[in-house]
Amino acid sequence: MSSNGSAAWRVYLSGEIHSDWRERIADGVREAGLAVELLAPVTDHSASDDVGVDILGPESDSFWKDHKGAGVNAVRTQTLLRSADVVVVRFGDKYRQWNAAFEAGYAAALGKPLVTLHDPELTHALKEVDRAALATAETPEQVVEILTYAVAGPGVPR
């Protein structure tokens, strides 16, 4: 017997916004028929960058423009992150993605199960983040397999 509860698992997908990794996980989750709700930050880069000044008025100093934007985005990300059952954090090879590492640290302190996703060449740079994770995957498909195992158990053919 292997029971996982009837409520959908809430899985927050943090990090990189310039590749299709979230879509690949969403496709895999759908194909596996998993009771999983995928949560994500806003991934439209320019909308995300400009949302603060778009809604709350322009800033001449870019520090404050960023500050406003980061605040509005955090209304979403903090709410989703705090409500998540599992947190997956993706690091790509572009940009510094300090936000991804920040959210990984935030999730770790809250005791959320953490899965990291990145290419092997980032291993050394990410060693502290990976150390806090329960699994480190290299492909979105591996994340889908982890979620399938966690949510549905090994009875589901992979």
Interactions with a copy of itself, residue window 87-146 (CB under 8 A): 91, 95-111, 113, 115, 120, 123-138, 142, 145-146
**Is 104 in contact with 81 (CB distance < 8 Å)?**
no
Interface pick for a copy of itself out of 34, 39, 90, 117 (rule CB under 8 A): 39
Contact residue for a copy of itself among 16, 86, 90, 117 (CB under 8 A): 86
Side-chain half-sphere CA neighbours of 60 within 13 A: 0
Q: How far is the CB of 121 from a copy of itself (least distance, A)?
A: 11
Q: Calculate the CA dihedral of residues 11, 15, 20, 21 and round it to 10 degrees.
A: -50
Name the residue nearer to a copy of itself (CB basis): 31 or 125: 125
| Least distance CB 134 / a copy of itself (angstroms) | 4
Subset of 45-74 contacting a copy of itself (CB under 8 A): 47-48, 51-52, 55-56, 59-64, 66-74
Which residues, 6 or more positions from 11, have their beta carbon under 8 angstroms from its beta carbon? 36, 37, 38, 39, 84, 85, 86, 87, 88, 147
Minimum distance, C-beta of residue 48 to a copy of itself, in the bound complex (Å) = 8
64 backbone dihedrals φ, ψ, rounded to 5°: -75, -30
CB of 33 to a copy of itself, least distance (A): 16
The one among 28, 38, 117, 140 contacting a copy of itself by CB under 8 A: 38
Residue environment code for 106-141, b if the CB has 16+ CB neighbours within 10 A, otherwise e: bbbeeebbbbbbbeeebeeebeebbeebebbbeebe
Q: Using the rule CB under 8 A, which residue among 22, 34, 90, 117 binds a copy of itself? A: 22
User: Nearest approach, Cβ of 43 to a copy of itself (angstroms)?
Assistant: 6
